[in-house]
Structure 1
Amino acid sequence: MYQQMGERRFGAVNWLGLATLARREVQRFLAVWTQTILAPLVTSGLFLLIFTIAIGPRRGDVMGVPFTHFIAPGILMMAVIQNAFANTSSSIVISKVQGNIVDTLMPPLSAGELVLGYLAGAVARGVIVALAIALGLWLVLGQAPAHPIWALCFVVLGAAFIGGVGIVAGIFANKFDQMAAITNFIVTPLAFLSGTFYSVEALPPVLRDITHANPIFYLIDGARFGVIGVSDASPVLALSVACGSVLGIMALAWLMFRRGYRLKS
């Protein structure tokens, strides 16, 4: 046992511990699937229905596709973002509030393994939600992904990035009201103001430049390319920004776990 722990400290991965943490995070949201999977599906359907009824008939085509088909990928990615963030942030905050975060920190898991374990749950939840919504789009709109591999890549990267943001937010927040503030004033505005329901080409130059600085814009735009084959930015650029954003937020989460920031006090 001591030899295995020593090997892990010198670079070997604690695969059993990592798999256990990942399984715990997946089982957390599967245990309440009506809230974590069914609810986002219903909410996305309501968004699509309301925007179609209120705006669709007068809006016409956007970038050469019907308005309903244009906003569908944005709604899908918005659901992925919200659920991936909720999965990691709620897990950490609940553990901190209940005082059992030590049960996660004490096992022989490195900071990198903790990050990957939490992200596994966020990515799994994001992908399952995305697949459920994509199935609904196919059944209701007859809309199948134009580039399914691209779409899947952006769903996974989006869930990983926002899951990482959730880790950082969960570590930073010590109370539920702090987490609610982060969700309401940072995550939700970034998700809504990133081309979810419109093309950024319709924005004034200043707002367009601000939107292009938002990494979530590239996630939504990349998902739109994967689903309907059109996008505001180059898919390659969007993929590059998404990968860089994931690496950056993972590095920050790793550093916070490594230093025990707001976790060991």
Structure 2
Amino acid sequence: MSEMKTTYRVGMGERRFGAVNWLGLKTLAGREIKRFTVVWTQTLLAPLVTAALFLMIFNIAIGPKRGDVMGVPFLTFLAPGIMMMTVIQNAFANTSSSIVISKVQGNIVDTLMPPLSGLELLLGYLAGAVARGVIVAVAIAAGLMLALQIVPEHPLIALLFVILGAAFLGGLGIVAGVFADKFDQMAAITNFIVTPLAFLSGTFYSVESLPPVLQAISHANPVFYLIDGVRYGVIGTSDSSPMLGFGVCLAATTAICFLAWVMLRKGYRLKA
């Protein structure tokens, strides 16, 4: 019998390694994680110190004079908000800085040339943001347990909102990084969008104490539900329903990640 040989042809738009480039996705995710682990004193230790300083300053300035908030001591109420604020700031910084630095240095082509689809690029970048956010959250939670004896009442719920928050701000960081061409543009987005979203979302106060108009504005902010969800997971109390918060956060994360996927797939402001 003569040996029969089969020839496989790869058509236009098809890839030799199948529907998903697992090796490329793993490599990009590993690169994004390594980016922040090699400089852990800046990306992991510094946020922990900042969170500790926030808690210490608020405790010294307000803590002894402030009564309970939502049935718990003020510092206990404040701690989950500080934790989530730190998570989202770091998740945003991870994706946005990665893209902007690559664009400024002119090596973004090294990410665009490999056979990676828009979805694979999105997941690779988000892997770094979520990993950094979760590590920061776990470290802060451990510090809260040791220093303040705050043990999470619903740890899985808290973890779920941490992952959603890191994915949401990671996706927003991709959008911002794609849009920005310079570091000063990135700084403007951080200062005028991300920071207000984090600070004006119930991090330091209960939104129930706000006037009705400001309450309505706060409830339109997805970050409010992220912080409120983590607060429920840590101390068991919240301003709104955790189920409502989960739905809003999931919808917001899906929407911003879809926008990021479209930008990456089309190469918007990335390809010359």
Runs of 5+ unmatched residues, structure 2: 1-7
1:245 counterpart residue number: 252
Shift, 1:262, TM fit: 0.6
Matched, 1:167 2:174: yes
Matched, 1:197 2:204: yes
Shift, 1:5, TM fit: 9.6
- Letter of the 1:71 partner, please give it: L
Matched, 1:112 2:114: no
1:53 counterpart residue number: 60
Shift, 1:59, TM fit: 1.1
Can you list the C-alpha shifts for 1:188-217, whole angstroms capped at 9, x where unaligned? 011000000000000000000000000000
Instruction: Note the aligned Cα RMSD (angstroms).
Output: 1.7
Q: 1:27 to 1:241 in 2, by over 3 A?
A: same
Can you list the C-alpha shifts for 1:157-216, whole angstroms capped at 9, x where unaligned? 000000000000000000000000000011001100000000000000000000000000
Give the 3-state SS of the residue equivalent to 1:134 in structure 2. helix
Q: Tell me how far apart the structure 2 counterparts of residues 199 and 21 of structure 1 sit (CA, whole Å).
A: 40
Shift, 1:21, TM fit: 0.2
2:82 counterpart residue number: 75
1:14 counterpart residue number: 21
Shift, 1:8, TM fit: 4.3
Q: Tell me how far apart the structure 2 counterparts of residues 134 and 91 of structure 1 sit (CA, whole Å).
A: 27
2:183 counterpart residue number: 176
Give the 3-state SS of the residue equivalent to 2:238 in structure 1. coil
Moved over 4 A (4+): 1-11
Runs of 5+ unmatched residues, structure 1: none
Give the 3-state SS of the residue equivalent to 1:218 in structure 2. helix
Matched, 1:259 2:266: yes
TM-score, normalised to structure 1, is: 0.97
Is the contact made by 2:118 and 2:264 (CA closer than 8 Å) also made in structure 1?
A: yes
Q: Tell me how far apart the structure 2 counterparts of residues 167 and 208 of structure 1 sit (CA, whole Å).
A: 29
1:30 counterpart residue number: 37
Is the contact made by 2:232 and 2:242 (CA closer than 8 Å) also made in structure 1?
A: yes
Can you list the C-alpha shifts for 1:124-160, whole angstroms capped at 9, x where unaligned? 0000000110000000001111100000000000000
Is the contact made by 2:10 and 2:16 (CA closer than 8 Å) also made in structure 1?
A: no
Q: 1:70 to 1:4 in 2, by over 3 A?
A: farther
Is the contact made by 1:93 and 1:173 (CA closer than 8 Å) also made in structure 2?
A: yes
Matched, 1:230 2:237: yes
2:226 counterpart residue number: 219
1:40 counterpart residue number: 47
Matched, 1:86 2:81: no
Q: Tell me how far apart the structure 1 counterparts of residues 17 and 209 of structure 2 sit (CA, whole Å).
A: 53
2:132 counterpart residue number: 125
Give the 3-state SS of the residue equivalent to 2:171 in structure 1. helix
Higher alpha-carbon Rg: 2
Q: Tell me how far apart the structure 2 counterparts of residues 136 and 93 of structure 1 sit (CA, whole Å).
A: 32
- Letter of the 2:118 partner, please give it: A
- The total of aligned residue pairs comes to 265
Q: 1:231 to 1:11 in 2, by over 3 A?
A: farther
Q: Tell me how far apart the structure 2 counterparts of residues 200 and 4 of structure 1 sit (CA, whole Å).
A: 57
Is the contact made by 1:5 and 1:108 (CA closer than 8 Å) also made in structure 2?
A: no
Between Structure 1 and Structure 2, which shows a larger proportion of helix residues? 1
Q: Tell me how far apart the structure 2 counterparts of residues 4 and 23 of structure 1 sit (CA, whole Å).
A: 30
